[in-house]
A = this chain, B = another copy of it.
Amino acid sequence: MTIGIKDVARRAGVSPATVSRVLGHGPVSAELRDRVEAAVRATGYRPNLSARRLRSQHSRTIGLIVSDIRNPFFTALSRAVEDAAYQSDMRVVLCNTDENPEREAMYLRLMQEERITGLIFAPTKATAERLDHTLLDFPVVLVDRAGPPGRHDCVVIDNPLACGALIEHLWEQGYRRIGGIFGNTSSTAVERHEGYRAAMAARGLEADVRFVAPNAEAAEAETARWLRTPGRPEALIGSNGQVLLGMVKALRNAGLGMPDDMGLAGFDNETWTELVGPGLTVVEQPVLDIGRTAMMMLFERLSVPDLQPRKVVLTGRLIVRGSTTRR
């Protein structure tokens, strides 16, 4: 049916082995190499990757499991990973879990069946804790979210530090009653929450928080509810870009202006954050670096499998905009 390496071989008057060697940089004389290359062009031959992977026993594929590809943080991440992968002549298979542990399990199974060479993974808290690298036959690099210490390689940002910077900035701007809305599925939100709590406590301020599913709809609903309760905060922080987006919508619907009616700050320097109202104060995460670093760590682990698990901590950058600067 479709043309295979044998057809090319016949046409070039050589054995299939020789064709394979030409394609795979084996030792072949110049003359035969020319003949084979001509035959490849003439026949329009395309290698069958399934056969190649089966025989050679490596898939040259890396898996990338994220919680939501519609979140710009993860799309940027996936671009970084993909670009790095293709430079090493590797494919990427990308999956969305919607923060759903069942889907995470299903995709982990898929990754095993694909016999991927390595995985980059942003897991929910639940599976991060359960995740056992001894059951997986490929290395894993956790990204954006850490698991239990010392179990997996991971690359994250310093969330407590970043949250501290956020609170310090709000404090300097004169905000005192500062509330927070945090996601309820990721270890990252937990860390940010702890950073928030510590920074508040250090200044003798009282913490006031809500937890929501980390998407805009949930965050908007929760914020709207909060705004209607008496004694609401003077400023709010949101634990990621999607949450922040929901909060902005709620403020807008409530007719509250930033920074005076309410200060607002959060995480992820998404394109729209500089455009909305007076601009949103955010902590920018070095997404591209996170992606590239994750790939590097993966490759290192592949070449030296029994390295100690390493944790790389990058740092976010505070971008101050009008949503929190009231004087």
Q: Please report A residues at the B interface, Cβ cutoff 8 Å.
A: 2, 44, 46-51, 53-54, 59, 69-70, 72, 75-76, 78-79, 82, 91, 93-94, 96, 109-110, 112-115, 135, 137, 216, 245, 248-249, 252, 270-272, 274-276
From B48, B49, B252, B275, give the contact of A272 (CB < 8 A).
B275
Chain B residue numbers with a CB within 8 Å of A79 are 69-70, 96
Give A85 Cβ to nearest chain B Cβ, in Å: 11
Give A110 Cβ to nearest chain B Cβ, in Å: 8
Chain B minimum-CB-distance residue to A78: B69
Taking a contact as CB atoms under 8 Å apart, the answer to whether A70 and B59 are in contact is no
Chain B residue numbers with a CB within 8 Å of A249 are 274-275
Give A259 Cβ to nearest chain B Cβ, in Å: 16
Which secondary structure dominates where chain A touches chain B? helix
From B76, B115, B245, give the contact of A49 (CB < 8 A).
B115
In the assembled complex, 8 residue pairs joining A and B whose CB atoms fall closer than 8 Å, in A order, are A48-B54, A49-B115, A69-B75, A91-B93, A91-B110, A245-B275, A252-B275, A275-B275
Complexed CA–CA distance, A254 and B267 (Å):
27
Choose among A44, A47, A115 the residue with the greatest number of B CB atoms under 10 Å from its CB.
A115
Copies assembled: 2
Choose among A2, A44, A216, A271 the residue with the greatest number of B CB atoms under 10 Å from its CB.
A271
Chain B minimum-CB-distance residue to A275: B276
Taking a contact as CB atoms under 8 Å apart, the answer to whether B54 and A82 are in contact is no
Complexed CA–CA distance, A307 and B152 (Å):
52
Give A47 Cβ to nearest chain B Cβ, in Å: 6
Taking a contact as CB atoms under 8 Å apart, the answer to whether A47 and B82 are in contact is no
Chain B residue numbers with a CB within 8 Å of A75 are 69-70, 75
Chain B minimum-CB-distance residue to A103: B86
Give A99 Cβ to nearest chain B Cβ, in Å: 14
Which 4 A-B pairs rank lowest in CB-CB distance, beginning with the nearest?
A272-B272, A50-B53, A50-B54, A275-B276
Taking a contact as CB atoms under 8 Å apart, the answer to whether B216 and A271 are in contact is yes
Give A124 Cβ to nearest chain B Cβ, in Å: 18
Chain B residue numbers with a CB within 8 Å of A96 are 79, 82
Give A96 Cβ to nearest chain B Cβ, in Å: 7
Taking a contact as CB atoms under 8 Å apart, the answer to whether B46 and A50 are in contact is no
Chain B residue numbers with a CB within 8 Å of A216 are 271
Taking a contact as CB atoms under 8 Å apart, the answer to whether B275 and A48 are in contact is no
Taking a contact as CB atoms under 8 Å apart, the answer to whether B48 and A113 are in contact is yes
Chain B minimum-CB-distance residue to A280: B275
Complexed CA–CA distance, A94 and B61 (Å):
13
Give A1 Cβ to nearest chain B Cβ, in Å: 8
Complexed CA–CA distance, A25 and B267 (Å):
49
